[in-house]
Chain A
Amino acid sequence: MMKNETPNPLTTYEKALTNIILHDDRYVLMTAENHSAIRNLPPLLKERFVDTGITEQGMIGAAAGLALRGRIPVVHGLAAFITMRGFEFIRTDVGLGNQPVKLVGTFSGFHSEANGATHQALEDVSLLRTIPNMKIVCPADERDLEIALPVILQDESPCYIRFTDTKADIEHHPEFRFGEAETVTEGSDITILTYGMLLNQAYQAQQVLESRGISVRLLNMRSLKPVDERAILKAARETEMLVVLEDHFQAGGLYSILCEVLVKNQMICEVMPYSLNNRWFKPGLLQDVLAYEKFAASDIVDTIFKRWLRDFC
């Protein structure tokens, strides 16, 4: 910190993180020179803050080494770079050894905004869920992250957190469990399954669809691995159509997870993927991206409504 700089108040994430790690020496805070999510923490963590420079592979290898010595590294980096540049190190040094390394990927999905395709992590879930022992949590907003964080940090497995710190539009259920979805609204016609920052758009869409007489169940699939199979199957049984909304490639994300669950359980139902199919998205500021790519609440309403009219009316 610069000498004349007054300390900023901690963000919700920083508070939730320091509540656990500040007075527990097992935790080491790491980053490959990406301070966005932890800007205020280096002076607090002192020697337990390790910035390895722009070295995703080196950082993740070193995190595994720290874990071998009994530490629990909480590792930060741009989602695109830690999961892809660092993938083999995550797979082999963290996954194979089942080391309790917590990976926090920032600027995932649409959060990369105007950075361009180089920075778009749209396959992070797809890649990391192939790794044995790895858990994946995709909070919807800062409150959802705050709720999940203590459970993630106290769990013994490696875990990938698809970071988001947007403000919460909804009141979350104050408890997080791995493998449990959060039912945001009950509904009987359509189920929207989503995760991450799109939950807010989905919630707005749900409100509009309800006003048009369509009953929408909204599931916050915050834990993608393990996934809540019961919630998926229940939705498939109890509602007419499942919409899988994600800022992720269609290949390998929640749409794939859902298909696997349905096939495994010999369940046939109407499924509508709402994701990036075999393409990157147009870079821009978040609201513009959502509008351009038709992921804004109003677009979600229109697209689902048309499909509903076509197939069910």
Chain B
Amino acid sequence: MNMQNADKAKNLNVHELRSFALRVNEHIIRMAGKGGCFIGASLSCTDLMVYLYKQFLNIDPYKPDDPNRDYFFLSKGHAVPALYGTLAEIGMMDSARFENHLKTSDDIYWHPNPKIPGVEFPSGSLGHLLPVAVGVAMDIKMRGQSNKVVVETGDGELNEGSNWEACLIAAAKGLDNLIIVVDRNFFQANEQTENLIPIEPLEEKFFSFGCPSITLNGHDYEDMNLVFNRLPFRKGSPNVDIAETVRGNGVPSIEARADRRIFNNSDEKVEQLIAELHNEYADVLIPEAAAI
């Protein structure tokens, strides 16, 4: 870990991270109107992305092509509103562009486009970016560099065999600079993972593929901080963080409708969802209001 990241890890300000996540979630909910987006899968990984970009990844918003940057790959591409919301809040993307969501005049649609600064690679077809990230991590090792490579996958996505090929390759090549973050929200598109194609015991699966794994709470910044500061888990092995999350986290009426993966809401409904969100984030909203 470099000095900049060491500082990032030390100064864990949960209040600030929650405020940040609130703003990202607002972006997500607004993208769920006028054509909609995969809102549940996006809300489940907001906290993860906020933690990664604010505390862990060495990514300078003003130098997206810095050769020393860390890499972040969103393999579950349908969660792109969480990524765009995060990129906007760290200053890599202009949030005014969200007005163009799904418009052909811009490049912001249901899956990531690498024309957006900060998007390293297109995704959407599941099981692709872990293999791609393996290639990137392999090159970093070949060159003797120290960039970290983080790839976020879904849990349902792990049905795809290419992920397991990639784990075998990553373990064989000793890619301990590779960090696989599983957004373990327990849902596939339509079904609960364990009711359709059970993937438990997941930790053991990854371990047996040569990739030490740890389960953590993907909504608890302290927990994430503990785990991400222990990397690499084993020298010479790829790392897996299984982040247990709640699909639709932060918006109870969506959490309750976790069977629905895509929402397209009326303007009025969007405002209702924002109100729900604000209620959940009252702890960070009230002190701000008091400060005014």
Contact = CB atoms under 8 A, between A and B. Distances in A.
Chains A and B form a bound pair: yes
Interface of A: 28, 47-48, 50, 52-53, 55, 57-71, 73, 88-89, 92-93, 96-97
Interface stretch (B121-129, B204-212, B239-247): B121-129
B134 A62 contact: yes
Interface string B110-142: 000010000011100101111111111111101
Interface residues of B, number: 28
Given A55-B165, A58-B166, A69 B122 contact: no
B168 interface: yes
A121 to B, nearest CB: 21
Interface string B154-177: 000000011001101100110000
13 contacts: A47-B142, A50-B138, A52-B169, A57-B161, A57-B162, A58-B165, A61-B130, A64-B131, A64-B135, A65-B137, A66-B138, A69-B135, A96-B122
A73 B173 CA distance: 17
Interface in B212-230: none
Nearest to B172: A53
B134 A61 contact: yes
B120 A68 contact: yes
Given A53-B169, A93-B132, A97-B114, 13 more contacts: A57-B127, A58-B165, A62-B166, A63-B135, A64-B132, A65-B131, A65-B133, A65-B138, A67-B135, A68-B120, A68-B135, A69-B135, A70-B139
B165 A68 contact: no
Interface of B: 114, 120-122, 125, 127-140, 142, 161-162, 165-166, 168-169, 172-173
Contacts of A67: 135
A67 B142 CA distance: 13
A66 B139 contact: yes
Given A55-B168, A58-B168, A66 B122 contact: no
A60 B169 CA distance: 12
A61 B114 contact: no
A62 B132 contact: yes
Given A69-B139, A92-B122, A58 B133 contact: no
Given A60-B131, A89-B162, A65 B125 contact: no
Nearest to B135: A65
B283 to A, nearest CB: 40
Contacts of A66: 135-136, 138-139
B160 to A, nearest CB: 9
B168 A53 contact: yes
A71 B139 contact: yes
A46 to B, nearest CB: 10
Top 3 nearest A-B pairs (CB, nearest first) are: A65-B135, A61-B131, A62-B135
Contacts of A62: 131-132, 134-135, 138, 166, 169
B52 to A, nearest CB: 19
Contacts of A61: 128-132, 134-135, 162, 166
B125 A88 contact: yes
Contacts of B114: 97
A292 B130 CA distance: 45
Contacts of A53: 168-169, 172
Contacts of A65: 121, 131-139
Nearest to B124: A92
Given A53-B168, A53-B169, A53-B172, A89 B135 contact: no
A57 B166 CA distance: 9
Contacts of B122: 92, 96-97
Nearest to A47: B142
A192 B11 CA distance: 73
Nearest to B127: A57
Given A53-B172, A69-B136, A69-B139, A92 B128 contact: yes
Nearest to B164: A58
B191 to A, nearest CB: 23
Contacts of B125: 88, 92
A147 B50 CA distance: 52
Contacts of A71: 139
A53 B210 CA distance: 15
Contacts of B134: 58, 61-62, 65
A88 B126 CA distance: 11
Given A53-B169, A93-B128, A48 B142 contact: yes
